[in-house]
Each structure stands twice: as structure tokens, then as C-alpha cells.
Amino acid sequence: MSLRTSAVRTLALAGAALAVTAAPVRAQALPTAQQVVARYVQAIGGLQALSSQQYRHMTAEMSMPAAGITINMDAYQARQGNKFVVKMEIPGMGNMGMGYDGQTAWSSNPMSGPKLLEGKELAEALRQYDFESNMNFARMYQAMETVGRDTLNGESCVQVRMTTQSGDQVMNCFADDDGMLIAASVNATTEAGTMQSDILFSDYRDFGGIKMPATTRMSAMGQQMEIHVKSISTEPIDASMFALPAEIAALKSN
């Protein structure tokens, strides 16, 4: 046996030994989706703090810098019945809104008028505005799996693919250092059809015992949008806030 052959065999055996040794390390490098989500829930305040909130009233400013548009938004949510109402005022266009009174979901805007939500559009609205959306993933998604790591704005994060009961998928990325959700890639069903959105979450702050992102940046259909939360109140909201608007009630009765 030549010296060269022996050297090659020795290197091959060493490589095999390293591969066997390294395999368990690689297998342990990525936490399970359940571990990632459990760490995130603790990081934002824990399930007990989350369950203590019954209402939220968020005021925020939405802007589309490229279009020079700034929109003021009020969002009201109630845990019981998973009710919500979102109101927006668009300069030069008028008022937009959408909501759910526990039985009927609706939207209304100056372009298409009042509308009752159905099918996938209804499912997407209920998922998006669920009281525990982006918090209680174990309840929101029927399947979750860790698929890898990514680096966003210099921050390492663990990618977890989540699948809804209807088969829609969301790719969430949780920061390695503190466990916070820092990014999501979502396929959303809208009036314009299915829309791919890439979202970045930052500037987490304490709102009523739960840490939530005060800044959200979204990229969809070539447009950039930013949402800056001004305040979130957890004080009780009068039930009349969630009542169907007159034009929606008229549509429902037809």
C-alpha cells in the first residue's frame, strides 16, 4: 500500500468519524417548533398575562412612503366572541372599515362599497384579527415545523412554517437572542386576490402586560407600508362598538 493511499484512507476515516460526531450536533442545532413557540410566548409575557386581556383598542398610523399617504387607524377587539372593528380614514378618499360582530364579518370602502365577507376572505379576516393572532400559535395553527435558520437585518432567527386548518401557510422567523417574532411571510386572501406579504416586526413594547411590536414594515405587490402603534388600551369597550353598521345590516337582511 502506497503512502498516498494510506493518507487518503486515513483522511477518509477521519472525515467519517467527524461526520458521525458532528451529526448529533447538527440535529440539536435547531429547536423544535414547539420549543420555539413556547420560548416566544414566555418572552412576550406568558399565556397567563395574555389570557388576562379581554379588550384592546389600538390607535396607529399607517403610511405608504412611496405614495405619500398616511392613514390614521383605530382597531377595537374583544376576546368574547372574537369580535373586532377596524376603522381607517384615507385622505382624499374617505373612510374604510371592516369588522366582525361574532356572527357576521364585513368590509366597507369607497371603491367597492359595503360587503359581507365569505369563504377564504372571511377565514383570512378572522385569522388576521383573532384576539390571540401572532401570540397563541399553538391554538391558531394545526401544524408547525422548524425548517431552518435565516438572517434578517443582521439578526439570526429560526424559521418555523405554520399551517392553518384550511391549508394556508405562514413562515415565521423567531430571533435567536431573545425569542421574539421578527419576521413573517404570509399568503393573504384579499379583495384583489391572493397576496404575498413579507413583514418585519420591531420595537417591542409592553402594552398591558404583553409585549407587542410598535413598528411593523410590510412589503406586498411592490408597495411598502409601515405601521406605527401610538397606543393600546386594554380598558373595557362598549358592546355597541361592534354592532353592524346600518349598510351592512341592510345587506344581511336582503
> Quick one: pLDDT band at residue 129, thresholds 50, 70, 90?
confident
Q: Residue 212: give its domain's CATH number.
A: 2.50.20.10
pLDDT 10s digits, 74-103: 999 999 999 999 999 888 888 899 999 999
Residue at 248 is within a domain: yes
Provide the domain limits for residue 213.
33-252
Q: In the chain, what is the straight-line distance between the N-terminal and C-terminal CA atoms, in Å? A: 92
Stated pTM of the model: 0.78
Residue at 201 is within a domain: yes
14 or 229, higher pLDDT: 229
The total number of structural domains in the chain stands at 1
DSSP SS3 for 74 = strand
pLDDT 10s digits, 172-201: 999 999 999 999 998 766 656 677 889 999
Residue at 60 is within a domain: yes
Tell me the C-alpha distance between 35 and 144, whole Å.
11
| DSSP letter string, 202-234 | EEEEEETTEEEEEEEEEEETTEEEEEEEEEEE-
Tell me the C-alpha distance between 113 and 123, whole Å.
20
Query: Of 98, 124, 113, nearest to 242 (Cα)?
Result: 98
Q: Are the beta carbons of 174 and 180 closer than 8 angstroms?
A: yes
Residue at 125 is within a domain: yes
Residue at 16 is within a domain: no
Residue at 24 is within a domain: no
* Cβ-proximal residues to 26 (8 Å cutoff; 6+ apart), any chain: none
The x, y and z cell numbers of residue 153, run together, are 437585518
